[in-house]
A and B are shown apart, each in its own frame.
Chain A
Amino acid sequence: MATGRIEIDFERCKACELCVPVCPKNCIEMGKEINRQGYTAAVFARPDDCTGCALCAETCPDVCIRVWR
């Protein structure tokens, strides 16, 4: 059961992948869809495992991630 939730701003993400390895539960993956900037934005692939630790949001250089816990 997820104790947290994140939202990734699809249009703002630049697909730098920095958020992917910092997630202790591997909840984030790189997506396939291309956004308006031309990047394949990251997606919240496994919402059930999210604890809302906010490490991804802390790491994101473009401040695309919002976290609820």
Chain B
Amino acid sequence: MKQVFDRPRTLLDARFHYCPGCHHGTIHRIIAETLDRMELRENTIGIAPVGCAVMLYDYMDIDILEAPHGRAPALATGIKRSLPDRVVFTYQGDGDLASIGMGEIVHAANRGENITVVFVNNTTYGMTGGQMAPTTLLGQKTTTSPFGRDFRTEGYPIRMAELLAGLEGVAYSTRVTVSSPAHIRKAKEAIRKGFEMQLKGMGFSIIEVLSTCPTNWGMKPLDAQKRVLGEMAEYFPLGVFKERKQADFA
């Protein structure tokens, strides 16, 4: 018998500090696997967010910088412009990207910066204790919306992939999840396509990944996965919202 599955080379041996069943680990792994497969490990710079994934540099064997809250796209812009031959990606959560970093992400996307954004949407602020995020579903109870989110006071959950797909500078916008092996494979494909878009110089690519936060949702990991495929996928439909076939300069 020969070994058919092992830790990807890009993933360091460190143990993840994430809670049991947290999808960050899966998403780290599929990014690492994609970098291995595309042979980009030596040539990639990642930007870590503020949030649970802040320690991304402990887990991946690539250069990683840590950006202040929500500012990852601004940092990525600077790196990509000064080192255009590198592959630059940001890894951001929903509190980081859709709330505090809303200005940065929208303008980086609108400028068509040639970067890849992996956006992990778990409908809550995971690291700080489960507060309401811009993506929190209506009726969802969090520590700052104890009676459930109400659109009359807190507005509606933001669909980032669709919102950014409306901008001219965006080359690729998709929403995937990692809640089953089939979905994991599709997510891996989406991340590969995001990096490919960047290598071709097509412009900004965003991969939104619906993820769980079993601890802050107060659910078992298996129930949390069911919630992603049920309630969450209903409001945040999976699919490709924009895919550019030809670069603007071509």
> Using a CB–CB distance below 8 Å, which chain A residues touch chain B?
4-5, 12, 14-18, 21-22, 37, 39, 52, 54-55, 57-63, 65-69
Contacts and interface: CB of A to CB of B under 8 A. Distances in A.
Interface string B14-58: 011011111111100100000000000000000000000000000
B122 interface: no
B6 interface: yes
A62 B25 contact: yes
A35 to B, nearest CB: 11
A54 B25 contact: no
Nearest to A13: B20
A64 to B, nearest CB: 9
B157 interface: no
Nearest to B15: A12
7 contacts: A14-B21, A18-B221, A18-B222, A61-B25, A62-B18, A63-B25, A68-B2
A58 B25 contact: no
B184 interface: yes
B118 interface: no
A67 B25 contact: no
The interface size bin for chain B is: 20 to 34
Interface of B: 1-7, 11, 15-16, 18-26, 29, 180-181, 184-185, 214, 220-222, 225
Contact of A61 (B3, B21, B220): B21
Secondary structure of the A contact surface, majority rule? loop
A58 B184 contact: yes
Nearest to B185: A58
A40 to B, nearest CB: 11
Contact of A21 (B1, B185, B222): B222
Given A17-B222, A61-B23, A62-B25, A69 B15 contact: no
Which are the 10 A-B pairs with shortest beta-carbon distances? A16-B21, A61-B25, A14-B20, A67-B5, A16-B20, A68-B1, A16-B221, A57-B5, A54-B5, A58-B181
Given A61-B21, A61-B25, A22 B3 contact: no
Contacts of A39: 20
Contacts of A57: 5
B4 A62 contact: no
